[in-house]
Chain A
């Protein structure tokens, strides 16, 4: 985490998103019963949301106050790759597609496709090896979850 401690590319936009989300949560907490009784259901959520807003404001103020480095700023396209890479976006989408597929195609088919594609893309040792690894993983999952844990799979 060290390399990302303070001046991580995109920190300020991220803080702004967090600030906006915190304000939405504060508003939602206020909607519970406004400024009602102190022992009411809305008081504590409002305090927690207000704490979030204050913390993120202090982080934003500090981020803006920090002097910018003397070296030239790299172009925007080069600042983000380490944080949000295309393969990462692709992989998150693959995970979401996997969960959707679970509902449609069932556990075994969806998991087989998900694992095979993931192994092929991430491990990069060819489709045949990915297929073998998938088969081995699914046998393992079947033995552990159906026999040992006896759980209901999606």
Chain B
């Protein structure tokens, strides 16, 4: 226990780590707030700059950026009606009407406090739940990892873009990108088209920065000249009475956020929308009608999207399966530092887990201070013209990709992925499943082959093994239900049930 506490407090007691978390959180708030720079983009670029650092320092910085970035997105949603991040989309529904009513300061204050509450709840669940999940995960067979990874890809594919076919296509593309190079088990070249330069594989950092950084920057080129509307921001520290009033809704929404965050692949945007929807359905007497400046419409998504952070870390640290796009990037960062996220991570390096938990609590606490101060400078930085922002994003992307392996080939890959990512985004293919595929592809490949080998190559034995073991059975049922959920049959079953229940 004293050891655990010392790991937990490491970022609090070491001045350099404390400073790194603070700088990361501060940078995250501003990066998340600037429309055009998403948290994913900021973290993906940052990974490439921190790879030479000590693992604790690198993780401290990324944890800060992640926490700050998710929160920062709400600022622009409230003040400009432009969500800084996808997770802040639902915040704009009532946040912007509040700003138009002249209550921007109060809205920012309440959103800051409930974000921090959501964050603490998420981290508490992570601290309690992850060791338990990790214990169960130690009993997982290769087929269970295969099933989990497929569930993750199916979830993110189905939920992120609206079209399941597009989501699965993007995920499969990511899987193939992740498999390029020499096979880990047989050292046979795969998908290299005979090119020697591809034998080492495609850097997943190049793919991440390309799909999230460059593609997004090119997408922003389409709307260069949107003039932001400046809002007057008054006192933002909310009264305790106000906070207490919204506390039950905040806790309820945080619970939704944690659950959605812990589902492999589903992130803050989905959690915020679901929490907003439940608030709309359950709150009887909102302060104003929803969509017209209801504080409840602000509290629910803001609590949920910050609670997602803790939830998303659970599958990432215990199973090696990312909870959302940002935790997919964290997996990349851990690989760079020679660590393998998964069930053994908590057995081999428990200090790392408690260090992350401590850094998350610290970043979340700092959020309260950073969030409630410096609003004036903030409104200036936030309205930075895109004509200045886009070239800087490209420059950072190029430098970030190059520094990983000092390779210009990676930079060309990054640019190519950026152009492909732009077209995919335009035609409704989300980049999230691609990155998840890149990370999960090699894990799925190895799990699939090990599962086949453990069945001695017998297909019948391979398929029955999914139904014999209790863990595999639960995961198989979840997987099949998810597939069924995406077919018209699901709708028909539920419509029939509703029709039969209706008249009675």
Chains A and B bind each other = yes
A1 to B388, CA, bound (A): 23
Set A33, A119, A122, A150: member contacting B188, Cβ < 8 A: A33
A122 to B191, CA, bound (A): 38
Q: Does B406 contact A (CB under 8 A)?
A: yes
Closest Cβ neighbor of B193 among chain A residues:
A28
The reply to whether B441 and A154 form a contact with Cβ atoms under 8 Å apart is no
Q: Give the distance to chain B from A146, nearest Cβ to Cβ, in Å.
A: 11
Q: Please name all residues of chain A whose beta carbon is closer than 8 Å to the beta carbon of B412 when the two chains form the complex.
A: 99
A141 to B399, CA, bound (A): 10
A149 to B45, CA, bound (A): 12
Q: Please name all residues of chain B whose beta carbon is closer than 8 Å to the beta carbon of A82 when the two chains form the complex.
A: 222
Closest Cβ neighbor of B166 among chain A residues:
A59
Set B179, B221, B459: member contacting A87, Cβ < 8 A: B221
The reply to whether B52 and A122 form a contact with Cβ atoms under 8 Å apart is no
A44 to B418, CA, bound (A): 26
Q: Does B110 contact A (CB under 8 A)?
A: no
Q: Does B494 contact A (CB under 8 A)?
A: no
Interface range, B side:
35 or more
B131-139, B169-177, B368-376: which lies at the interface: B169-177
A6 to B168, CA, bound (A): 17
Q: Please name all residues of chain A whose beta carbon is closer than 8 Å to the beta carbon of B191 when the two chains form the complex.
A: 25, 28-29, 32, 45
Q: Give the distance to chain A from B248, nearest Cβ to Cβ, in Å.
A: 34
Q: Does B453 contact A (CB under 8 A)?
A: yes
The reply to whether A154 and B387 form a contact with Cβ atoms under 8 Å apart is no
Given that A25-B191, A58-B165, A149-B50 are contacting pairs, would A41 and B185 also be in contact in the complex, using a CB cutoff of 8 Å?
Answer: yes
The reply to whether B169 and A44 form a contact with Cβ atoms under 8 Å apart is no
A99-116: CB near B (< 8 Å → 1, else 0) gives 100110001000100110
The reply to whether B387 and A123 form a contact with Cβ atoms under 8 Å apart is yes
A102 to B431, CA, bound (A): 28
Q: Please name all residues of chain A whose beta carbon is closer than 8 Å to the beta carbon of B211 when the two chains form the complex.
A: none
Closest Cβ neighbor of A24 among chain B residues:
B193
Highest count of chain B CB atoms <10 Å: which of A18, A115, A122, A133: A122
Q: Does B186 contact A (CB under 8 A)?
A: yes
Given that A1-B428, A59-B163, A124-B387 are contacting pairs, would A41 and B186 also be in contact in the complex, using a CB cutoff of 8 Å?
Answer: yes
Q: Give the distance to chain A from B121, nearest Cβ to Cβ, in Å.
A: 31
Given that A114-B395, A123-B388 are contacting pairs, would A25 and B218 also be in contact in the complex, using a CB cutoff of 8 Å?
Answer: no
Set A4, A43, A55, A122: member contacting B426, Cβ < 8 A: A4
Q: Please name all residues of chain B whose beta carbon is closer than 8 Å to the beta carbon of A62 when the two chains form the complex.
A: 165
Q: Give the distance to chain B from A43, nearest Cβ to Cβ, in Å.
A: 7
Q: Please name all residues of chain B whose beta carbon is closer than 8 Å to the beta carbon of A40 when the two chains form the complex.
A: 186, 449
A28 to B189, CA, bound (A): 11
Q: Does B335 contact A (CB under 8 A)?
A: no
Q: Please name all residues of chain A whose beta carbon is closer than 8 Å to the beta carbon of B411 when the two chains form the complex.
A: 99, 102, 154
Chain B contacts with A in 123-166, Cβ cutoff 8 A = 162-163, 165-166
The reply to whether B453 and A99 form a contact with Cβ atoms under 8 Å apart is no
Given that A4-B428, A5-B428 are contacting pairs, would A48 and B218 also be in contact in the complex, using a CB cutoff of 8 Å?
Answer: no
Closest Cβ neighbor of A60 among chain B residues:
B165
Q: Does B233 contact A (CB under 8 A)?
A: no
A145 to B403, CA, bound (A): 11
Given that A52-B176, A95-B415, A153-B399 are contacting pairs, would A39 and B221 also be in contact in the complex, using a CB cutoff of 8 Å?
Answer: no
A13-30: CB near B (< 8 Å → 1, else 0) gives 011001000000100110
Q: Does B55 contact A (CB under 8 A)?
A: no
Q: Give the distance to chain B from A1, nearest Cβ to Cβ, in Å.
A: 6
B232-271: CB near A (< 8 Å → 1, else 0) gives 0000000000000000000000000000000000000000
Q: Does B398 contact A (CB under 8 A)?
A: yes
A101 to B270, CA, bound (A): 42
Q: Does B200 contact A (CB under 8 A)?
A: no
CB-defined A-B contacts under 8 Å, sample of 15: A4-B426, A40-B186, A44-B444, A48-B172, A55-B165, A59-B166, A95-B214, A98-B394, A102-B402, A115-B392, A122-B388, A122-B391, A123-B387, A150-B52, A154-B399
Given contacts A25-B191, A41-B190, A91-B221, 13 further A-B contacts (CB under 8 A): A4-B426, A29-B190, A32-B190, A43-B449, A52-B172, A59-B169, A83-B423, A95-B415, A95-B418, A118-B390, A118-B394, A124-B387, A151-B52
Q: Give A residues with C-beta under 8 Å from B.
A: 1, 4-6, 8, 11, 14-15, 18, 25, 28-29, 32-33, 37-45, 48-49, 51-52, 55-56, 58-59, 62, 82-83, 85, 87-88, 91-92, 95-96, 98-99, 102-103, 107, 111, 114-115, 118-119, 122-124, 133, 137, 141, 145, 149-154
